[in-house]
Structure 1
Amino acid sequence: MPRNSPPAQPPASVATPASTLRFASGRSEAASAEVAVEAAVNIVYGNLPYAVMMATPSDLEDFVVGFSLTEGIIRSGDEIRGIAVSPQANGIIVTVELAPGRFREHLARRRNLSGRTSCGLCGVEALADLPAAEARAGGATPITPAAIAAALGSLERHQPLHRLTRSVHAAAWCGRDGTILAAREDVGRHNALDKLIGARLRAGHPANDGFVLVTSRASFEMVEKAAIFGAGTLVTISAPTSLAIERAKVLGLTLVCVAREDAARIFAGALANPVEAEAP
């Protein structure tokens, strides 16, 4: 798909006046804090508005590509012909030019959707409209526990906005050895994952040799997004929901949750045996 020159976008964080209250003394001190920017992002296909998502206004091209894939609007990155980002007084308009055939199919299934950072299914009007990935034809190559530990150990270095604000999620693509190859941040966990997926699609990197790591819980829609992208393993910092586990099992996705550097819980699938992984 074509690469557009990066447009001027609002900052991802802003310095904001604040005060520090010392509980012991009861005194407050003037200070300032970096606060994550949350903006209304209107995604438009052709000339038809589709969704308004509350998102961090960085990596917006990655975001709309990943969002378009996980929403089922496109099947591959080359079905997007161009992306235009236009900051407005009250938000940002991102206009996506779809390939003609894909745009016609989009018109046939167009719906209105109002997104929120806390919900990945806002605007879905019927159970039949829920996103649904396809089960993997073959099992994914298992990831080793050591690779997960390595990714967790280096994750903080790939979260510059979180270090400033302590208020955003991250999604990372990790190689089979646990090296973090790409990471994206956003106030919305779904948005962070869509940004990551979009970045990998735009760079032409497949999802068949590594795993996804996210700093959130594993919910139904996070499992679906990872599976739609083609990932074989999803690792999350927090716990899963019952439906996430059920869908991961159906989809053949290995689901590892409550992940820490020294331990994690496997709810679906299996990790590689460390001894077998090291054998020649």
Structure 2
Amino acid sequence: MAVRARSLSRPGVAMHREGTRSVVRSLPEEVPVALTFNGSTQAVMMATPADIADFAHGFALSEGLISHPSEVEEFEAVTHERGIEARFWLREDRAAALRERQRNMMGPTGCGLCGIDSLDQALRPLDALPEGGPVLERAEVARATDALRAHQPLHDQTRAVHAAGFLLPGRGIVMAREDVGRHNALDKLIGALVRQDVNPAEGAFVLTSRVSVDMVQKTVMARCPILIAVSAPTALALRMAEEARLTLAAFARSGGFDLYAAPERIVDGDAHVA
């Protein structure tokens, strides 16, 4: 498979009050990525052409298309002229379940009610996270997004991508992934963790973005109990986090943060695993 560059240098003209000058900027690349399961396309996403296997596996897990990597019999990423095809071949029982899901989502058009299934899927119920789990010191949460900055080489090049990192109590950020899309960055991180047999339940996800409903959904689907973000949650995302017992720390920057749902996993003293 040919490897696509994550960024591309392009010339431009910088214009300021003092005048103009020629510049060369590194711009992040993005390509369409088609995710196919047993020959059927499930989704096409725009993504940075790096860590495609991580992205595909994370997307499949966080969207409930698979429940464990063992359900994948074969995977390959094939580069085409206009994009990348991420091909899954699933174990037959999982493939049958996916085909049934696709049949249930098909229905008549123009009925005025045919969007209900899609709305239900957008706000799908989540299994609540178990009580307990990892506990972080308040200082670890406060410096989490600053620590993530050291794991963002593509951002340093382009200033145009998001990142998601995995933080372990007492160890800091141990893994991170970048992408032009905030959802993609989180999917890449989830995929990287499960493919390397790292349990998301043992730490926290750290995001360079706001917290929307889908970011909460992906975090809970991965069974990660703590979400730390540099920006704000939406009101619906917060309600969903509360219902799922997901610890949510937002506005985490400049040495502070706002703590919302499930605050018991953030403590003032020494961190420990409950």
Matches within 5 A, 1:207-226: 207-226=200-219
> Would you say 1:101 and 2:85 are equivalent positions?
no
Q: 1:251 to 1:8 in 2, by over 3 A?
A: same
Number of equivalenced pairs? 260
**Structure 2 residue matching 1:231: 3-state secondary structure:** coil
> Would you say 1:126 and 2:118 are equivalent positions?
yes
Residue by residue over 1:14-57, the C-alpha shift from the partner in whole angstroms, topping out at 9 and shown as x without a partner, is 10111122322xx2211110000111111111111111101111
Percent identity of paired positions between Structure 1 and Structure 2: 34
TM-score when scaled to structure 2? 0.89
> Would you say 1:238 and 2:231 are equivalent positions?
yes
Instruction: Please name the residue that 1:22 is paired with.
Output: 16
2:257 is aligned with what amino acid? Answer: A
Q: Does 54-63 or 137-146 show the bigger shift?
A: 137-146
Moved over 6 A (4+): none
Show structure 1 runs of 5+ residues with no match.
1-6, 114-122
TM-score when scaled to structure 1? 0.88
Pairwise CA RMSD: 1.9
Q: Is the 8 A contact 2:9 2:24 kept in 1?
A: yes
Q: Of residues 8, 12, 24 in structure 1, which corresponds to 2:6?
A: 12
For residues 76 and 225 of structure 2, the distance between their equivalents in structure 1, rounded to whole angstroms, comes to: 32
Instruction: Please name the residue that 1:78 is paired with.
Output: 70
Instruction: Please name the residue that 2:197 is paired with.
Output: 204
Q: Does 184-193 or 74-83 show the bigger shift?
A: 74-83
Q: Does 260-269 or 53-62 show the bigger shift?
A: 260-269
Q: Is the 8 A contact 2:143 2:255 kept in 1?
A: no
For residues 90 and 245 of structure 2, the distance between their equivalents in structure 1, rounded to whole angstroms, comes to: 31
For residues 49 and 250 of structure 2, the distance between their equivalents in structure 1, rounded to whole angstroms, comes to: 28
1:52 is aligned with what amino acid? Answer: V
Q: Is the 8 A contact 2:201 2:223 kept in 1?
A: yes
Instruction: Please name the residue that 1:247 is paired with.
Output: 240
Show structure 2 runs of 5+ residues with no match.
106-114
Q: Is the 8 A contact 2:162 2:208 kept in 1?
A: yes
1:239 is aligned with what amino acid? Answer: A
For residues 269 and 35 of structure 2, the distance between their equivalents in structure 1, rounded to whole angstroms, comes to: 48
Q: 1:209 to 1:263 in 2, by over 3 A?
A: same
**Structure 2 residue matching 1:230: 3-state secondary structure:** coil
Residue by residue over 1:57-85, the C-alpha shift from the partner in whole angstroms, topping out at 9 and shown as x without a partner, is 11000001000011111111111122211
